[in-house]
Chains A and B, each alone.
Chain A
């Protein structure tokens, strides 16, 4: 039963409509004609966090935004997953410098992150790969043959 549920969950990851910065545009691109994330059943962007399973943190998280992000995460019903999209969400990215005063250096300092998608911003293919990785994490099997490592 758990297996079936996991399979269902992995194939129906509804993300919450939550764009932060530049990466949000690439997130939108991933949902659009060419990349069409809906193929994997993940195209239902829900505006309300209560109906979503997945939060894509697409951009820089500032200290002012952090409480809002936490509320949103708390509002999501479990089981829930988080993809940290882009370098800003992973570690602060290009905006870390000595004396910075408004940056959360990595969203994993606030909420547990399942998949990291690096890039500044990551290409939509990168996000798709992130989705597949997350599915792999949930079900234990991979949908497509993975990317070939060339180096």
Chain B
């Protein structure tokens, strides 16, 4: 696949050099540096070949700003990094929002954080930030927001149209699970347009990463996605280990996988409960939490926390697991396997639940690709993409498990996929427990100070919500030069306006719930 794309790229862009990169080191296979004029052509090139835009981000190299596009494909492993250098004094770039829907969001983000204007972009208003911030926060030098830019950023006013009712769902609303705000333009009970406004929990994680050493930033990862904290931990440590070049002992790998999968089950359990609560049925929430509490007991004994874990270290684990943990995990696995029947009775077989979710929020494959939707939502659309299989990290390559996919892409499918994913997680735990052998849980000499090589890395892991991409630029110091988190909830949210259009208000709640959003992860 890589060779084919390389050959085709060569013939399409004859005057450009296409660099072949070392995938284990960088996380992408090819890279090319484009001029602004070629960008849209390149995007169309990838679009035609069914690639999706995994992430679009910006790095401030002081002499120039670099916009990085990572293109990836669902059907095989091939990642291409496309870069575009722009002038930092008057930064303008062409937009890709006409080709890839997700670019519309990423470009708004880059605009408010770096001040890059995108030619032809339809909406350059605030997405994460707000009027009170007068600089572009992620620029390395202090750059004030220009007056013209400020006016443009502030030009969003939902009440401007008289003839329709606009409703603010959020930031404090029972069904948004946090502080997401969606402005809905309504025609009676039907939604004409949904417009998410984000950033009510923007905690400056990416800015913070630049101010902290690699070790100091580790606890932050658990607070980005508090439900899948282990996956974030794992993603971050594996990324940095890959960047620095640390080999982790086998025992640590298995324990990492067990902990991560347990955490995935906890996350999905909470989703099942919260989703039913969205639909008005409160009791399953408590049953799910009951299971979750049992699970947390197991995890708490070894990690010391219930929610925002920080259990993994560069080179291994914080502490070793004991027999009690193994026994507790086994007991939980046995208990959980018996609980699925109960959920089927309580939730899956409920007529009202089925009627509320069948045919609601159907995600077409094309939309899924254009919005770079990921995780269970993508698998619901029938694309069996899972980074635990596609790009195995830790010891997932040794594991034997299925990837559940859906047929219709509706909310009911998402429910079944998440339930089945819990079962596959149990399978993985079983296999890991069987392979768990004695040995060190930490490398012999854990690095005191990390000095990664110069360069960048795009590392992906599968969190309970989908594709988590970590893009790290290192300048050989012990602090990352730039760290970008490509978060799954954000991409899943991008599909929401399209899905909500023309549906009832109650359906919008059902759709929003089925996407399983975690707001701090979106806002970072």
Partner among B129, B172, B220, B307 whose Cβ is within 8 Å of the Cβ of A26: B307
Q: Is the contact region of chain B dominated by helix, strand, or loop, or is it mixed?
A: loop
B129 near A102: Cβ-Cβ < 8 Å = yes
Taking a contact as CB atoms under 8 Å apart, the answer to whether A25 and B226 are in contact is yes
A142 at the interface (CB under 8 A from B): no
- CB-defined interface of A43-54 with B at 8 Å, one 1/0 digit per residue? 000010100000
Kindly state the separation between the CA atoms of A34 and B297 in the bound complex, as whole angstroms.
12
Query: Does A28 reach chain B (CB closer than 8 Å)?
Result: yes
The residue on B at minimum CB distance from A67 is: B130
Q: Which residue of B lies closest to A100 (CB)?
A: B204
Partner of A32, one of B172, B227, B285: B285
Residues from chain A with a CB closer than 8 A to the CB of B285 are: 32
* B196 contacts A by Cβ under 8 Å: no
Given contacts A94-B219, A101-B135, contact A22 B307 (CB under 8 A): yes
Tell me, in angstroms, the Cα distance from A27 to B121 when the chains sit together: 41
The answer on a CB contact under 8 Å between A34 and B293 is yes
Q: A20-B179, A32-B290 are in contact. Are A95 and B203 (CB under 8 A)?
A: yes
Instruction: Check A22/B223 contact, CB under 8 A, given A32-B285, A32-B293, A121-B308.
Output: yes
Distance between B493 CB and nearest chain A CB, rounded to angstroms: 17
Decide if B226 touches A29 in the complex (CB within 8 Å).
no
* Interface assignment of B447: CB less than 8 Å from any CB of chain A: no
Q: Is there contact, CB below 8 Å, between B207 and A99?
A: yes
In this assembly, does A60 line the interface, its C-beta being within 8 Å of a C-beta of chain B? yes
The reply to whether the CB of A137 lies closer than 8 angstroms to some CB of chain B is: no
Please, what's the 1-or-0 string for B385-402, where 1 marks a CB less than 8 Å from any CB in chain A?
000000000000000000
Mark out the residues of chain A between 80 and 98 whose CB falls within 8 Å of any chain B CB in the assembled complex: 94-95, 97-98
Asked if B330 is at the interface of the complex by the 8 Å CB criterion, the answer is: no
Interface residues of B in 304-327 (CB under 8 A from A): 306-308
Q: Given A17-B174, A101-B135, A121-B308, do A60 and B286 touch, yes or no (CB 8 Å)?
A: no
Question: Does A24 interact with chain B (Cβ within 8 Å)?
Answer: yes
- Chain B: interface residue total (CB-CB under 8 A): 38
Q: Which residues of B contact A123 (CB under 8 A)?
A: 306
Query: CB within 8 Å of A: which of B282-312?
Result: 285-286, 289-290, 293, 306-308
Interface string of B132-151 (1 = CB under 8 A from A): 11010100000000000000
Docked-complex contact A97 and B129, CB < 8 angstroms: no
A86 to chain B minimum Cβ distance, whole angstroms, is: 10
The answer on a CB contact under 8 Å between A62 and B203 is yes
How close is A47's CB to chain B, nearest CB, in angstroms?
Answer: 5
Contact present for B307 and A121 (CB under 8 Å): yes
Contacts of B200 in A (CB 8 A): 62, 64-65, 68
State whether the Cβ of A72 lies closer than 8 Å to any Cβ in chain B: yes
Query: Smallest Cβ distance from A11 to chain B, in angstroms?
Result: 22
Query: Which residues from 1 to 42 on chain A have a C-beta closer than 8 Å to any C-beta of chain B?
Result: 17-22, 24-26, 28-29, 32-34
- Count of A residues near B, CB < 8 Å? 36
**Distance (whole angstroms) from the CB of A111 to the closest CB of chain B:** 14
Decide: B290 and A72 in contact? CB cutoff 8 A. no
Query: Which of A49, A65, A121 has the largest number of chain B CB atoms within 10 A?
Result: A65
Contact with A along B484-524 (1 / 0, CB 8 A): 00000000000000000000000000000000000110000
Report yes or no: B178 in contact with A101, Cβ–Cβ below 8 A.
no
Taking a contact as CB atoms under 8 Å apart, the answer to whether B132 and A20 are in contact is no
Q: Are A102 and B133 in contact (CB under 8 A)?
A: yes
Q: Does A134 contact B (CB under 8 A)?
A: no
Q: Which residues of B are found within 8 Å of A22, using beta-carbon distances?
A: 223, 226, 307-308, 520
- Report chain A residues within 8 Å CB of B207: 99-101
By the criterion CB–CB under 8 Å, are B223 and A94 in contact? yes
Residues B133 and A101 in contact, CB atoms below 8 Å apart: yes
Most A C-beta atoms less than 10 A away, residue of B171, B211, B227: B171
Given A68-B171, A94-B219, A97-B208, the answer on whether A24 and B178 have CB atoms closer than 8 Å is yes
Complex: A47 Cα to B170 Cα, angstroms: 12
Residues of B close to A26: CB separation below 8 A: 306-307
| B289→A28 contact, CB < 8 A | yes
- Residues of the A chain whose Cβ atoms lie less than 8 Å from the Cβ of B137: 101-102
Contact partner, A29, options B202, B289, B520, Cβ 8 Å: B289
Structural contact, B520 and A63, CB atoms closer than 8 A: no
Using Cβ atoms and an 8 Å threshold, which residues of chain A touch B211? 97-99
Enumerate chain A residues within 8 angstroms of B520, measured Cβ to Cβ. 21-22, 60
For B208, give the chain A residue with the smallest CB separation.
A97
Note all chain A residues with C-beta closer than 8 A to B178: 19-21, 24
Contact of A33 (CB < 8 Å), options: B135, B204, B212, B293: B293
The docked-state distance in angstroms from the alpha carbon of A99 to that of B270 is: 35
Tell whether B367 is near chain A: CB-to-CB under 8 Å: no
Q: Roughly how many angstroms separate A101 CA and B293 CA in the complex, as a whole number?
A: 36
Does B464 sit at the interface, judged by CB under 8 A? no
Chain A residues closer than 8 Å to B361, beta-carbon distance: none
Given contacts A33-B293, A101-B137, A102-B133, whether A18 and B202 have CB atoms under 8 Å apart is no
User: What residues on B are CB-neighbors of A17 within 8 Å?
Assistant: 174
- Known contacts A21-B223, A33-B293, A121-B308, then 15 further A-B pairs from the complex at CB < 8 Å, ordered by chain A residue: A18-B172, A19-B177, A19-B178, A20-B201, A21-B226, A22-B308, A32-B286, A32-B290, A33-B286, A33-B290, A60-B203, A63-B132, A97-B212, A99-B211, A100-B208
Q: List 25 A-B contacts (CB under 8 A).
A: A19-B178, A26-B306, A29-B293, A29-B306, A32-B289, A33-B286, A34-B289, A60-B520, A62-B201, A63-B130, A63-B133, A64-B129, A65-B171, A65-B201, A95-B204, A97-B204, A97-B212, A100-B204, A101-B204, A102-B204, A103-B204, A120-B308, A121-B226, A121-B308, A123-B306
B contact set with A: CB distance below 8 Å: 129-130, 132-133, 135, 137, 171-172, 174, 177-179, 199-204, 207-208, 211-212, 219-220, 223, 226-227, 270, 285-286, 289-290, 293, 306-308, 519-520
Task: Report the 4 A-B pairs with minimum CB-CB distance, sorted nearest first.
Answer: A22-B226, A32-B289, A64-B130, A47-B174
